């Protein structure tokens, strides 16, 4: 049987299909005007890029501020030490020198060693392993900072060159 008529109404008409069309045409859609209330306003497509850019900028500022504060506290420590600790005591503390009351139980070698490597007032003494971990942590923070900078740059570019038609592809969710 030739089914072209059923498919696109071409070819030899199928009498059964024609009869069905005729009977069912009484149920066909009757045009009626769509009443859109005047107070009904079309919401605009939301552009989230400015908000993302602001959020990224604030995050970057906080991160940069934290790093700057951390760096500054590291830089201040030697200065304070220089002010407080005169260079002379290193020479004064010898095995023959009298022991200070606070260091009664220390051997002379220990005293020398302590004075030669006096820990900074604000920086804890780190073992080699701890120092390596700290350096790795610093590397990670720097990496995170670089990534954040790249992302902010990307967001900035997108914000400057927004094309609504190409914003989002592959719409599947409806309703």
What is the contact surface with another protein in residues (CB under 8 A)? 3, 6-9, 16-17, 19-21, 23-29, 31-37, 40, 42-46, 165, 167-171, 174-175
* H helix intervals, 14-127: 15-24, 49-84, 88-92, 108-116
Q: How far is the CB of 73 from another protein (least distance, A)?
A: 49
Q: Which is nearer to another protein, 40 or 84 (CB)?
A: 40
Q: Which is nearer to another protein, 18 or 122 (CB)?
A: 18
Q: Which is nearer to another protein, 107 or 167 (CB)?
A: 167
Q: What distance in Å separates the CA atoms of residue 47 and residue 174, rounded to the nearest whole number?
A: 19
Contact predicate 76/123, CB 8 Å: no
Q: Which is nearer to another protein, 161 or 170 (CB)?
A: 170
Q: How far is the CB of 47 from another protein (least distance, A)?
A: 11
Q: What distance in Å separates the CA atoms of residue 120 and residue 80, rounded to the nearest whole number?
A: 8
For helices 128-160 and 49-84, what crossing angle results, to 10°? 150
Q: How far is the CB of 172 from another protein (least distance, A)?
A: 8
Q: How far is the CB of 48 from another protein (least distance, A)?
A: 13
User: What's the 3-state SS for 81-95?
Assistant: HHHHCCCHHHHHCCC
Q: Which is nearer to another protein, 84 or 165 (CB)?
A: 165
CA angle 147, 150, 151 (to 5 degrees): 85
Q: How far is the CB of 6 from another protein (least distance, A)?
A: 6
Count CB atoms within 10 A of the CB of residue 155.
19
């Amino acid at each position: 049987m030739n089914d072209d008529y059923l498919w696109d109404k071409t070819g030899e008409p199928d009498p059964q299909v024609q009869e069905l069309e005729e009977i069912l045409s009484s149920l066909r859609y009757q045009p009626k005007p769509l009443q859109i209330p005047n107070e009904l306003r079309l919401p605009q497509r939301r552009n989230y890029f400015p908000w993302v850019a602001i959020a990224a900028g604030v995050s970057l500022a906080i991160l940069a501020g934290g790093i700057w504060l951390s760096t500054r506290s590291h830089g201040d420590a030697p200065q304070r030490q220089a002010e407080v600790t005169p260079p002379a005591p290193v020479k004064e503390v010898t095995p023959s020198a009298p022991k200070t009351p606070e260091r009664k139980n220390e051997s002379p070698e220990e005293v020398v060693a302590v004075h030669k490597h006096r820990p900074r007032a604000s920086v804890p003494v780190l073992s080699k392993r701890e120092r390596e971990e700290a350096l790795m942590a610093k590397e990670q923070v720097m990496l995170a900072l670089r990534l954040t900078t790249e992302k902010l740059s990307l967001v900035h570019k997108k914000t400057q060159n927004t094309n609504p038609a190409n914003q989002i592809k592959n719409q599947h969710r409806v309703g």
